[in-house]
Amino acid sequence: MFHTYGIPEQRDSSISVNSTGTYSVTATDNFGFVSSDTVQVLYPTYTIGADTVFVCAGDSIELSVQDVPIGYGYLWNRTDTTPTLWAKAEGWNTLIVSDINGCKKS
């Protein structure tokens, strides 16, 4: 039997969460042995800047990710994998940020 705290009326052996919070589970086996655990789930928020930035010919602009915890991955459309990209040519630049659980935001 599973009792999950943090999600009302949850009794399944697995859960999916989509909000920040602390979740606890208590499991009781057929012999009455009880085991408990708690995990904190953090969903970071991202602020995406202006969709369009104009730069004069020959200039460049630094696009960067700020205030994202260590351990997150970055993938720019130009295959760069750092939190900073120097855009030197005309065109669109996209960024996908991912965490160790595979959650992604673009």
pLDDT in tens, 16-32: 777 788 888 888 888 88
* Alpha carbon distance 22, 56 (integer Å): 48
The answer, yes or no, to whether residue 1 has pLDDT greater than 80, is no
pTM for this prediction: 0.50
Percent of residues, the chain, with pLDDT higher than 90: 0
Domain ranges of the chain: 2-41, 61-105
Report pLDDT for 47.
60
Average pLDDT over residues 62-74: 79
